[in-house]
Structure 1
Amino acid sequence: MLSDQSLARVRDLKFKQLLVFERVATLGSMHKAAEAVHMTQPNVVKIVRQLEELLQVTLFERHSKGVRLTVFAEHLLARIRPMLGDARALSEELEALRSGEGGQVAVGTLISASAWLLPESAALMKRRHPKAGLLIQEATNDILFPMLRVGELDVIVGRLPENPGEGVEMHAIYDDELMIVARASHPLSRQPACAPEDLLDYPWIVPSNSSPVRKQVDRFFRGRDLPIPHNQIVSLSMLTNLGILARSDALAMLPSVAARPLIQVGVLFEVPIHVRVPFGTIGYSLRADREPVPAAALFIGILKEVGARAQATGGVPPAG
């Protein structure tokens, strides 16, 4: 049972204080938090001090580049993030009820979905439901799944991980493979075939170590007793990667559903290595303990429809 003093502290907590605290803790800066919540920096500092006085703890240690969380702040942040996520979901549900089909869906995505499945689905969503908002964030699984669990994201679209952790349910849409690609006028395009060791002569665009594509790149070379390419550009940005491919002799592994349309229009070509690299199952992930907000439910239906349409036309193989 809470003591009278603890009850008094909880009663005096204000939602704005927790919201400001969360932004400061997440962004690591009073200045950035002030911009995010549309307040002046002195007001943000004042609110943080009020919260520290109320809780009788120090939440942040100031340094030249921003702030560092104390152990008290880490515990508080872990407690309030799910609450703030639920508050956001409630706001979206009320907005959807008020407007008929409005609200917003927060989508996390990986490079495996950001070039085809997500753009196709987002475009169809806006055509059918123009009042619904889409907030899209591209990152890796180690960033996206914690955000999903606390309600900062409604859905994650991309390659389904082998172990997403507790509290997550995954839904398959289609299976994909990786293709080794380069610009259409690449020197390798003049060869009828090439060996895996030939690929070491060129720069490689690879994602970060935590990406499943990166693991497949490393496995491709190690499985053939070849060294990992040392001439690397590490990038998670599909747009940047395509720009680099177009302007250099770099090579990359891309999901086939992203690469094929660019090969068909003559932007890229598939390196004649005659090897198919398995990638995994593409789909979407949700929180297991909560129904999607109305806008998210609409978007999930569209994801399924786009995937089913592509399977029917032979664009992608079914999952499984």
Structure 2
Amino acid sequence: MQMDTDFWRGRRVLLTGHTGFKGAWLSFLLKNLGAELTGLSLAPNTTPSLFAALKLDQEMRSHIGDIRDAALVRQVVQACQPEVVLHLAAQALVRPSYREPLATFATNIMGSAHVLEALRGQDSARVAVMVTTDKVYRNLEQPDPYPETAELGGHDPYSASKAASELLIASYRDSFLAEQGLTVAVARAGNVIGGGDWSEDRLLPDAIRAWESGQTLQVRRPQSVRPWQHVLEPLAAYLSLAQAGYQNAHLAQAWNFGPDGAATVREVVDLARQEFGRGDVDFAVNVDGVHEAGLLSLDASKAREQLSIEPRWDLSVAVSRSVRWYADFLAGTSAHELCQRDIDAYF
């Protein structure tokens, strides 16, 4: 699908998690489309942050707060009267979920409940896209990609919290929200890369930090397989789903958004190093530490067949554009110019 600027221009949109990596990109994209945008999120937790670099607090109504605060969520929803809700706010990293499991469950489960509860009885809202993850599936370490009908599960607290949130979302949709005319869809996206991510324990940010400072990148699990995609792929899919779901209640389902195929961590690192032009890497032989899935890929054929959504950039383009974003940012190019460059190229 193509972005319908007439649909988004002046549309009241609530975006949770707007200060995060994906949230900042999506905020910038929605402002490009002319949406009337309100955000609710914690303050950025990285330095630098894409949200700050893009000066998005000057471009939208930005509420800094915690979605675990039910009263605050309701207050923001009532104030902005959203027509479209895009729920991205989450504790979104596997390894930190082992360190803080209760915070992860509270944010990802009860935070989602607070958003949905605030929408109950909110007549302005027509569609909500609830973003979970590709890791909601019970991982069998199988080569076959997981379709939307595969069994949900979760070994680590992050995956389990997201799988549990999907049961919650389905319950709210079936018990309350469908009858008030609110289309509640779930989006499960693969591993996302792109410029402007400075989170810890993410492959490309770790690589850029190491190589820029002349250090060796330590790679824990080089043979792990993931469905890597550029950040604009799932964001365009979320907007396409919201656009279609605004008029079609039958799209209140779960949707996979991912690339054609998957790739190992080693393949991504090799492509990144080639684009960056230098960098030492230490690929671990013996894997230590907490459990992380080794093999994961998504079957996104339903989105392709029913929504006409399919990836535009393959892995080499996604990695190349991501690394080039960082290199040019470090050389002094503004985040605004770099994000606009990628958006123009993608669309």
TM value normalised by structure 1: 0.27
TM value normalised by structure 2: 0.26
The structure with higher relative contact order (CA 8 Å, sep 6+) is 1
